[in-house]
Amino acid sequence: MSYHSWQNGLDEYDIIRVINFVRAEVKAGRDPRDTLAASSSGGARPWADDAYLRPVLEDDALLCYDFEEVAAAAAAHAAAAGGSEAGPSSAGAPSG
């Protein structure tokens, strides 16, 4: 599952909730990947609870990351390269 495949439709608060949901699941010893995959295909969003707006990790740098800026840069890179779509994971990737 790529970032781009499920990030559409998430606002800034949803992204914060997802990060904290994943952190909480891992901290509890559970693997969140199946839950995330199920939610990407229209399933319930278990991170919808506002409790996930509270950081799981103190000073979590990922919560300060500007995902929209990275997505915009990836889209600009794809447009310049003649591609039709790119996710943040492809930004800066070798084109060879």
The residue extents of the domains of the chain are: 3-83
In the predicted model, residues of the chain with pLDDT beneath 50 are: 1-6, 86-96
User: Which pLDDT score is estimated for 7?
Assistant: 53
CA gap 34, 71 in Å, rounded = 24
User: Which pLDDT score is estimated for 92?
Assistant: 46
Rounding to the nearest 10 degrees, give the CA dihedral for residues 5, 94, 61, 43: 10
User: Which pLDDT score is estimated for 31?
Assistant: 95
